[in-house]
Structure 1
Amino acid sequence: KNSQSRKRKQPNISAQSWRSASYVNLSLSQWLLKGPEETWRSELEEHYRREPVFALIGGMVKGDWRPIHDFTEENHIPSLFPITDFPVVSETDWYTLYLSKGFYQEGESAARYLNSIAETLEGKAVIEVVRDSIEGRTLSRGFQETWLETGHQPAVSVTLKKGEPPTAKLLDQVLTGKKQYTLVLWDGPEALTALEAIAASANKPERILISSGYLGKSFLTLNEGLRDITFITYPLGLSQEKFGYRFDIPLMKKKVSEDAEKILKKTYSLLNMLTQALIEMRGNYYRDNFLDVIGMMKDQRDPLYERLSFGPGQRYASKGCYIVQLGKGPNPELIKKSDWVIY
């Protein structure tokens, strides 16, 4: 059997015939995790003992989603579209459906992009500089695992401690005589000033890769002198406005923060998928059927990502991430340098 095969275990939840049921009553429970991460598991178990729910819908935590992921996996509870940048990336786990792989997906796409231009990298170094943070470590894991998977030797990796800037001197120490190199920099907005100094040094990189997810909107302020050599992972859609796609999200009519806007768009996707799934289940309210129905849905246009798609055994709906460069000026155009999905 392949890695996606599984034993089907039916929960103790009754189902009514679609023909005989005129309607189904649904209730929504709110589970709040009040303690530190190490207490989440016991809190979840207590919530589940009191309220044995059919599925977990959405949800947010500060940090890694793994404690919730492991809980739902072990209890065979479907979990639909938790709002997290740090999902569990697994080829075998079954019960959590994620919008994307989060920061891991950006690192993964950077590695695939470099692999697509591998001929230009022969005899040259790939240097990865990583901020010691959950964002930096996750980006690095996606990059390094995919770089190895595509047949390359591990990239030289340097970790930046809190408050330590990336510098040209630091890079000189790890280049070991090679003068031509690609710099993969996983750091936040504070890195932009340091990049200017690196690019002005005698040992300027041929190209630089950075993460729009980690930098936030500050990546749009990248110095114009760096834009020709800087490539940016961009995991969001670019075609919505271009092709006139519009999404009716009532709360979006008010001015909200960038983070709140993303949460609203992800919640829209969650509710849209949930509504379709409940209709298509046709009264057969079993957990595995819920997952199977979603796995058979057509591709969905989405207000945040380029598109959402599932298939049998697939657990990450947004499968792509562009590599872009910035155009000129204070309001730069995003110039695509790759397809949505990079092979």
Structure 2
Amino acid sequence: MELHWEDVAGHETQKLQLRTMLREHRLPHALLLSGPAGVGKKKLGHVLAAALLCEADDAPCGHCASCRAMASGSHPDYLEVLPERTGKNTAVIRIDAIRSMQVEASRYPILAKQRVVLIDDADCMNEAAENSLLKTLEEPEGAVTFLLITGARSSLLDTIVSRCMPLSFGTVPEDAMVEVLAGRGLATAEARELASLADGSIGRALALHEHEGLSRRDDALSFLVKLRQMDMPAVWQRSQAMGELDRETLSEWFLYLNMMLRDMLVLYEDGGSKLIYHKDIREQLLALLPSFPEPVIFSLLALVRETQRRLQTNVNLRLLMEGFHIRMRDVVNIRK
């Protein structure tokens, strides 16, 4: 697949900045692309890598040997480091992966004039891996550019951040998301519904479409509807079922629950608000408001966000789900 700047939806300021720096030959040896998940950071990183390796002035040209190699995913001078997961554990970039990359990156380029290393989810590096990468960023060997991609810039060592040129990304405008989704064959109405639920993340909108994510959204709504009447056998049963899910699925479920609770707070202020995410279930959320006073919603949101944070650790998922369901049930029943 050819790589072009125009293929990245939104982020016009960032694209212009990068293209200008490339044209003027003043791009630094390390860049840190940070922002929310699914907004196109890695895709822009791929385009930038193709431009750095391209032989043309207005890169990437899409036709030279380097561009063809990048399009086929076989460029010998492009390296990508990704987190690795074992079982249900959190994905990690370990020092072995960084050391292997360092050996490859230090070699003389084969096809282009330099090498490019893209480290995706750089915040997943463990301490040893970060310290090893820091030494390379301080004293890179050979002609190499590092592109670090992260959704959690604050999780990286300050010393790593300080040695990279920061490039921050916001969410993608809804109209741009609709255009991308429509370009993939979705009907305009469906594209708009997915865009409104995806909170500015094209990746999340595509995941909703491809993996039937709305079923998880509907399950989160059903959970809120039944929460007050949930007895302990139901808590244990639901906790066991959710504890068997993978972390990505759980994270998505909690994202929807978080968004619904936020929508309910917005509806308290304006029942007809167009600012909610879940416009298609506005009436169901309005019907829940009498059972969920604002203080209760704030308490539930705090529990949801705490659980979202703990999902990023190696916590036992079954125990985490049990604690979550019991505490949520206690909050709504104590404050009847």
TM-score, normalisation: structure 1:
0.28
The structure with the largest strand share of the pair is: 1
Larger helix share, 1 or 2: 2
TM-score normalized with structure 2 length: 0.29
